[in-house]
Structure 1
Amino acid sequence: MQWYELKNWLELSTGLDRDALHIYAGIGIQLVVALILRRSLASPVPWGFVMVAAFANEYFDYTATSGSLAGNAALYEEAYRDIWNTLLLPSLFLMIARFWPNWLIGKARSDEKIDMLQNDRPRS
């Protein structure tokens, strides 16, 4: 089964359009690579795997199709959209995990911790 046929089968069997598949693939690749390599989402390594996969996918799409110059312009436009869809959420996850990690772990502020500790003490 060729790469393009595999993508068509995946689209038909899931009922999702290609844009949604690119979004899910980007997130899935990032999370699986982070798990396997035991890296945080703050590490650029899982994101790098997503980027390589996105460009490899577009390379295979480009080599599988051939056409006129006008067709190539449409192919480039679709490739840009596919790369955008694949990398958008993994890039967002990378930036949040790297620069605002408290958004992901939900740490309470120190004044909230003090209030929680004072409310848990038995009153005399």
Structure 2
Amino acid sequence: MTLIEFAALFTERKTWLVTSTDLSKDALHIYFGLALFVAVRLMWRWRGGWLVAWLAVLAMASGGEWLDMSLEAQRSAIQPDAAHWHDIWNTMFWPTVLLLIGRWLHPEAKPAGDAAGEVSSEDAERRLEQA
């Protein structure tokens, strides 16, 4: 399958989703961005998972726009750059918000003294006083 055939299939599937779900293309960008972000974040629970999920959405958004531009170039119907940036913005907005607040939603780094075997001097003094 050539790039143009793949881009045409991608556009055909996207158009089918728009008509069958009765959603706008902007709404689909938002839903797909959020769905991919949450799916990757649930699968990647290790350190850096928030960033990995955000990068996956960025790759999907950029790849989708690249396919759209490839097909537009083939058909000599190139959209203005602002339209493509709008799609990327729509896709990336909520994953970016979740990335920025992710440390508060699910802190990955434990404060000093919480690791197994480490006891702060205050905790040691309290334990001695209780004994």
Structure 1 length-normalised TM: 0.70
Indicate conservation of the 8 Å contact 1:47/1:94, yes or no: yes
The alpha-carbon deviation at position 35 of structure 1 amounts to 1.5
Aligned equivalents of 1:30, 1:39: Cα separation in 2 = 15
- 1:62-101, Cα deviation, whole Å (9 max, x unpaired): 0011266xx54x3311110000000000000110112x33
Is 1:37–2:44 an aligned residue pair? yes
* Residues 83/39 of structure 1: CA separation in 2 closer, same or farther (3 Å cut): farther
**1:79 matched residue in structure 2:** 84
**1:89 matched residue in structure 2:** 94
Aligned equivalents of 2:23, 2:105: Cα separation in 1 = 31
Aligned equivalents of 1:44, 1:90: Cα separation in 2 = 10
Aligned equivalents of 1:43, 1:4: Cα separation in 2 = 29
Structure 2 length-normalised TM: 0.67
Greater C-alpha Rg: 2
Counterpart of 1:23 (choices 11, 15, 30) is 30
Aligned equivalents of 1:36, 1:21: Cα separation in 2 = 22
Aligned equivalents of 1:16, 1:41: Cα separation in 2 = 33
Indicate conservation of the 8 Å contact 2:37/2:56, yes or no: yes
Is 1:101–2:108 an aligned residue pair? no
The 3-state SS of whatever aligns with 1:83 is helix
The alpha-carbon deviation at position 40 of structure 1 amounts to 7.3
Percent of pairs with identical residues: 35
Aligned equivalents of 2:80, 2:19: Cα separation in 1 = 21
Indicate conservation of the 8 Å contact 1:50/1:87, yes or no: yes
The alpha-carbon deviation at position 36 of structure 1 amounts to 2.0
Aligned equivalents of 1:4, 1:50: Cα separation in 2 = 18
**2:55 matched residue in structure 1:** 48
Residue type at the aligned position of 2:97: L
Aligned equivalents of 1:42, 1:62: Cα separation in 2 = 30
Residue type at the aligned position of 1:2: L
Number of residue pairs matched by the alignment = 98
C-alpha RMSD of the superposition = 2.2
Runs of 4+ in 1 over 3 A off after TM superposition: 39-42
